Amino acid sequence: MANHSHAHPTHLQHHFVDSDQQFEASKMGMWVFIVNEILFFGGLFCAYIVFRAWYPELFTMAAKELSTVWGAVNTVVLIGSSLTVAMAIRSAQKNQKRGIEINLLITIALACVFLLIKYFEYTHKFHLGIFPGESLYTYEGIDHPLAHVFFSIYYMMTGIHALHIIVGIGLMIWIYIRARRNEFSSEYYTPVEITGLYWHLVDVIWIFLFPLLYLIE
Amino acid sequence: MSEHNHHEHHVSTAGQLWAVGIALTILTGLTVGLAFVEIPAPFDIIVALTIAFGKAFLVAAFFMNLYWDTKFNSMLLVGALAFFILMVAITLLDTLYRVEVVPSF
Amino acid sequence: MATAEVSTQKTLKVQRFKPSDNPTNTFLTDEKGVWAWMTTVDHKKIGIMYLVSVAIFFAVGGALAILLRTELLTPAKTFIEADTYNQLFTLHGAIMVFFVLVPSIPAALGNFIMPMQLGAKDVAFPKLNLASFYIYVLGAIFTFIALAKNGLDTGWTFYTPYSTQSTSSVIWITMGVFILGFSSILTGTNFITTIHKMRAPGITWSKLPLNVWALYATSIIQVLATPVLAITVLLLTMEKWLGFGIFDPAIGGDPVLFQHFFWFYSHPAVYIMIVPGFGIISEVISTFSKKTVFGYWAIALSSLAIAFIGFLVWGHHMFTSGQSAVATTVFSFLTFLVGIPTGIKIFNWVTTLYKGSIKMDTPMLYVFIFLFLFSIGGFTGIMLGALSVNIHLHDTYYVVAHFHYVMMGGTLIALLAGLHYWWPKMTGKMYNETLAKISAVLIFVGFNVTFLPQFVMGAQGMPRRYYNYVDQFTSFHQTSTIGSYILGVGFLIILYYLMQSLFKGAKSPANPWNSRGLEWQATSPPDFHNFDHTPVIIHGPYDYHQPMEEFQLGLAVDTNGHDPESAKEIIDEERDQWKNYSLG
């Protein structure tokens, strides 16, 4: 084969012609996957919009139960983690192995902080009797017959988002281990780039969840 | 076709990345602050969403590198948003125009 | 060496690679054994594994259909209970839609053929491709668990509030569909990336085979619509499990919202099923007319147009569901628009036939069956899109007949066309042409005997999904049942001669149909890496006026001992001989 006539770099899979094709294909694949994710969350946002248009007063009343402060803190935490992931990619592009590792560790730590805050928010609500679903919901502080619907949407949106965070932490640990093994360089850092794109997406979704759920007057 | 003659990947400077991060934090502060200001009904959502879209743009353009990337990837993102809007808009065409808001059967 | 301009930037050295009719190494001889098959990342093997799974599910779904039709022989109970009947039609629908029609053409035939048509060694993400297959299997396991537990009696649409109240295993099936959705999403993602990034030198967008265009449009729908199905069934699961109050009216939800969500996926899903069929028809009709496809761009872009308009019409399933009058009117109008790109395709195919040298081999026979049946399906669809007619015909057998004409008369017949067309390429064996023609005729006759009466009784008011019926419909139902038996026999014959061809079939040459398609320039069955060279394309895939040898070019191998002069001579010597061959 013509393209087998010279040595291949070890990271290059056999069905690609060169590193560039592999990198561009992987990145485009991730973008198509992001399209999936947008439509996946889109269904939830659609339910949110339909119910908010029907019952604006329900959303105003129920959102008071959510802590604006902790929501804002979590937003900043995620923005910080997005920044460190971008820095990790930059380190990879500049062949700085330590940089990749440190930035990934900070990102993982920030993601854990996010989940911890989320955990306290959830348990606080469970304590009040605010559970997802009509059968479990017992809180009486909101004077609206459909209060449980708001929190169903809230739990579904934030829950699936949290699930993405957990997956993201897993991905980043995997990338961290590979970085420790010296697998990345300016010639090959595709997995770092791809994971970064995923993580930024998770950040972007939270950027919309925050004002839509926490910041309703 | 050698692995050496690939297109140059864009490398952002640390300063650029920090600037974007700080801008995002400031915008977050702004949107929280505006939440405590009394803005009449439809405009509060519009303001909050405008800021959110601004933040999303910053992340997509500079963290996700769309600004320097092939235009097709930006097209994918815009296309996904367009179909999401289509979905919402057409659904609202029904839910907002029902004679009885929720059928009571 | 001969050179070919493949782009404005670079000139490639090419030489001719004539595919061997007696390949020693193929993808079937490499990587042998069950374990090698189960862990393979080869798109061809994965495609065949899909094909086998789809065939098994089709057999199950078909057997259910035969049982249903047999029960409907008499107006009252014939031999099964009403509850069982409900479960049977639900399973028939769910299996045929989610496990047969959606994966059939893209995941089975598409997986095998599409990378070859691009001259690629594999899809962009081979491991992801294998993962999609196992996710499909996992979804199937969930469905079988549901079957073993309580079955399912909601119809394949899972409408609330019945699905949240039903005591059957709704959650198992919805989780199965959720998992299955990921298989579809990942395949779509993989295909889009492959089509963009894995094309061999010279394959520009205007030289892309129409099958690839169709798969591209399909993948776009899969990527945009399937995630919404995933979130919908997830919400439905939560609704049933915890009482979310989004869909169930008893606790504040809105059942019509569920229908919006469901059909936002499921209407485009109809196009996920039919558009790849269009691709196959385009390939086959050109090969067996030995003629350039008429209106290449019209056919290519109308696939994309169908994909787009398909997203705007989902509400025509809900005309009687209590959605607002505004939405109903808009949806009805938009529905008519779908007819335009579909009509464009039909006219272009028919025009392709004009003055072609038509050879009525089995694949072409199925193309004609497709054109006939699908046109009926399309026209009745337009009628159903008209509001006033729809109110009368909604949920009657007319609808059942309509979508069987589209789904079975369209997708399944196209699948059969593709299967017969690419069978020699996939297996390296020819099938029995006489038996193939007999079964094609049986299927055509059986199909019409089954479903034409359903139009009539539907128009006369026979509702769908009913276990009993009034006496006046007896003769229609009995005719329909007899038709379904003929269909069954037709499919059994196909199974017989395809199995026979595997073991005793005559050896197929590399290009038995004299097609200009790139996939036919590989050996039959193909090499493990599809081609043992990097193909270079200088003509469109349907340029039958160009000599065959110019479709067999590949990047010149520097170290094969030929000096440039002799490589050129090979081409020149054989030029005349190939011209004759390709005309004959």
Domains and CATH numbers, chain A: 20-214 (1.20.120.80)
Looking at the fold, whether B2 and B37 belong to one and the same domain comes out as: yes
**Mutation target vs B (from A95, A215, A216; most B CBs, 10 A cutoff):** A215
Residue C561 backbone zone (phi > 0: left; psi -120 to 50: alpha; other: beta): left
Residue entry with tokens 């038509």: C358
Are residues B88 and A49, on separate chains, in Cβ contact within 8 Å?
Answer: yes
**Does C325 lie at the interface with B, CB-CB under 8 angstroms?**
yes
pLDDT at A8 over 80: no
Q: Please check whether residue B104 lies inside any domain of the structure.
A: no
Task: Name the residue among C246, C264, C554 with its Cβ closest to that of A152.
Answer: C246
Residue entry with tokens 């385009």: C282
Are residues C227 and A153, on separate chains, in Cβ contact within 8 Å?
Answer: no
Q: For C225, name the nearest residue in chain A, comparing CA atoms only.
A: A39
Radius of gyration of chain B (CA): 20
**Mutation target vs A (from C189, C216, C218, C264; most A CBs, 10 A cutoff):** C189
**Mutation target vs B (from A22, A51, A75, A190; most B CBs, 10 A cutoff):** A75
Report yes or no: A194 and A33 within 8 Å, Cβ to Cβ: no
Report yes or no: C107 and C515 within 8 Å, Cβ to Cβ: no
Residue entry with tokens 């029907």: A54
Residue A197 backbone zone (phi > 0: left; psi -120 to 50: alpha; other: beta): alpha
Compute the nearest-CA separation of C60 from chain A (Å): 31
Looking at the fold, whether B48 and B18 belong to one and the same domain comes out as: yes
Task: Name the residue among B86, B96, B103 with its Cβ closest to that of C322.
Answer: B103
Looking at the fold, whether B4 and B40 belong to one and the same domain comes out as: yes
pLDDT at B103 over 60: no
C-alpha distances out from residue C153 to A4, C85, C162, C164, Å: 57, 9, 9, 12
Total number of residues shown for chain B: 105
Average pLDDT, integer, range B69-73? 91
* pLDDT tens-digit series, residues A139-165: 888 888 899 999 999 999 999 999 999
Residue entry with tokens 């067309």: C421
What is the C-alpha separation between C265 and C223, in angstroms, rounded? 10
Looking at the fold, whether B55 and B20 belong to one and the same domain comes out as: yes
What is the C-alpha separation between C238 and C235, in angstroms, rounded? 5
The 8-class DSSP code of residue C100 comes to: I
**Does A47 lie at the interface with C, CB-CB under 8 angstroms?**
yes
What's the longest Cα–Cα distance across chain C? 83
What is the C-alpha separation between C375 and C409, in angstroms, rounded? 9
Chains in contact with A, where contact requires at least 3 CB pairs less than 8 Å apart: B, C
Are residues C228 and A32, on separate chains, in Cβ contact within 8 Å?
Answer: no
State the count of interchain CB pairs (< 8 A) between A and B. 143
Query: Cβ contacts (< 8 Å) between B103 and chain C: which residues?
Result: 249, 254-256, 322
Report CA dihedral (C307, C309, C314, C316) to the nearest 10 degrees: -130
Are residues C252 and A25, on separate chains, in Cβ contact within 8 Å?
Answer: no
Number of domains in chain B: 2
Average pLDDT, integer, range B22-37? 93
- Residue C553, H or E segment: strand C553-555
Q: Please check whether residue B105 lies inside any domain of the structure.
A: no
pLDDT, residue C474, reads 95
**Does A35 lie at the interface with C, CB-CB under 8 angstroms?**
yes
Instruction: State pTM to two decimals.
Output: 0.92
Looking at the fold, whether B40 and B13 belong to one and the same domain comes out as: yes
User: Distance between the two ends of chain C, CA-based, in angstroms?
Assistant: 29
pLDDT, residue A10, reads 79
Looking at the fold, whether B3 and B49 belong to one and the same domain comes out as: yes
Q: For B93, name the nearest residue in chain A, comparing CA atoms only.
A: A50
The 8-class DSSP code of residue C509 comes to: P
Phi/psi at C540 (nearest 5 deg)? -65, 160
Are residues A135 and C226, on separate chains, in Cβ contact within 8 Å?
Answer: no
Two tokens, residue C77: 């109970």
Looking at the fold, whether B41 and B9 belong to one and the same domain comes out as: yes
Residue entry with tokens 């067996």: C288
Cα angle B52-B56-B59, degrees, rounded to a multiple of 5: 140
pLDDT, residue C575, reads 40
Compute the nearest-CA separation of A139 from chain B (Å): 24
Looking at the fold, whether B21 and B51 belong to one and the same domain comes out as: yes
Are residues C324 and B90, on separate chains, in Cβ contact within 8 Å?
Answer: no
Looking at the fold, whether B7 and B39 belong to one and the same domain comes out as: yes
Which is nearest to C409 in space by CA: C385, C444, C380, C442? C444
Query: Cβ contacts (< 8 Å) between B3 and chain A: which residues?
Result: 8-9, 12, 18-20, 187
pLDDT, residue B9, reads 80
Total number of residues shown for chain C: 584
Residue entry with tokens 């001579």: C569
Compute the nearest-CA separation of A215 from chain B (Å): 6
Phi/psi at C553 (nearest 5 deg)? -85, 150
Are residues B28 and A42, on separate chains, in Cβ contact within 8 Å?
Answer: no
- Give residues 146 to 165 of C whose Cβ lies within 8 Å of B: none
Are residues C224 and B80, on separate chains, in Cβ contact within 8 Å?
Answer: yes
Are residues A36 and C185, on separate chains, in Cβ contact within 8 Å?
Answer: yes
Two tokens, residue A62: 């129920």
Query: Coil, helix or strand for C537?
Result: coil
Q: Please check whether residue B2 lies inside any domain of the structure.
A: yes
Looking at the fold, whether B4 and B39 belong to one and the same domain comes out as: yes
Residue environment code for B6-17, b if the CB has 16+ CB neighbours within 10 A, otherwise e: beebeebeeeeb
Looking at the fold, whether B78 and B60 belong to one and the same domain comes out as: no
Task: Name the residue among B72, B94, B104 with its Cβ closest to that of C327.
Answer: B94
Q: Please check whether residue B103 lies inside any domain of the structure.
A: no
- Give residues 356 to 415 of C whose Cβ lies within 8 Å of B: none
C-alpha distances out from residue A56 to A48, A95, A106, C205, C268, Å: 11, 52, 39, 49, 32
pLDDT, residue B102, reads 54
Report yes or no: A2 and C558 within 8 Å, Cβ to Cβ: yes
The amino acid sitting at C450 is T
Task: Name the residue among A24, A42, A132 with its Cβ closest to that of C228.
Answer: A42
What is the C-alpha separation between C318 and C325, in angstroms, rounded? 11
Compute the nearest-CA separation of B102 from chain C (Å): 7
Average pLDDT, integer, range A41-53? 95
Compute the nearest-CA separation of C254 from chain A (Å): 9
Two tokens, residue C368: 């004609």
Query: Cβ contacts (< 8 Å) between A153 and chain C: which residues?
Result: 246
Are residues A29 and C122, on separate chains, in Cβ contact within 8 Å?
Answer: no
Where chain C has pLDDT below 70, the residues are 1-10, 558-584
Report yes or no: B24 and B59 within 8 Å, Cβ to Cβ: yes
Are residues C324 and B98, on separate chains, in Cβ contact within 8 Å?
Answer: yes
**Does C256 lie at the interface with B, CB-CB under 8 angstroms?**
yes
Are residues B98 and C322, on separate chains, in Cβ contact within 8 Å?
Answer: yes
Report yes or no: C548 and C516 within 8 Å, Cβ to Cβ: yes
The 8-class DSSP code of residue C552 comes to: S
- 3-state DSSP helix/strand/coil % of chain C, to nearest 5: 70, 5, 30
What is the C-alpha separation between B20 and B11, in angstroms, rounded? 15
What is the C-alpha separation between C54 and C60, in angstroms, rounded? 10
Task: Name the residue among C252, C257, C325 with its Cβ closest to that of B95.
Answer: C257
Chain B residues in contact with chain C using a Cβ-Cβ cutoff of 8 Å: 72, 80, 83, 86-87, 90-91, 93-99, 102-105
Two tokens, residue B28: 């977050």
For B5, the domain range is 1-65
Which is nearest to C439 in space by CA: C508, C374, C486, C376? C486
Query: Coil, helix or strand for C555?
Result: strand
Query: Cβ contacts (< 8 Å) between B93 and chain C: which residues?
Result: 324, 326-327, 330
Report yes or no: C273 and C101 within 8 Å, Cβ to Cβ: yes
State the count of interchain CB pairs (< 8 A) between A and C. 136
Q: Is C260 exposed, middle or buried (0-12, 13-18, 19+ CB in 10 A)?
A: buried
Q: Is B54 exposed, middle or buried (0-12, 13-18, 19+ CB in 10 A)?
A: middle
ipTM: 0.92
Q: What is the 3-state secondary structure (H, E, C) of C92-108?
A: HHHHHHHHHHHHHHHHH
What is the C-alpha separation between C281 and C276, in angstroms, rounded? 9
Q: Please check whether residue B102 lies inside any domain of the structure.
A: no
Chains in contact with B, where contact requires at least 3 CB pairs less than 8 Å apart: A, C
Residue C244 makes CB contacts below 8 A (sequence gap 6+) with A132, A133, A134, A148, A149, A152, A156, C235, C238, C251, C253
Task: Name the residue among B32, B38, B96 with its Cβ closest to that of A215.
Answer: B32
pLDDT at B6 over 50: no
C-alpha distances out from residue C335 to A186, B35, C321, Å: 52, 43, 17
Rounded to the nearest angstrom, the gap between the alpha carbon of residue C264 and the centroid of all alpha carbons in its chain is 20
- 3-state DSSP helix/strand/coil % of chain A, to nearest 5: 75, 0, 25
Q: What percent of chain A shows pLDDT beyond 90?
A: 77
Looking at the fold, whether B33 and B61 belong to one and the same domain comes out as: yes
Q: How does residue B41 score in pLDDT terms, banded at 50, 70 and 90? A: confident
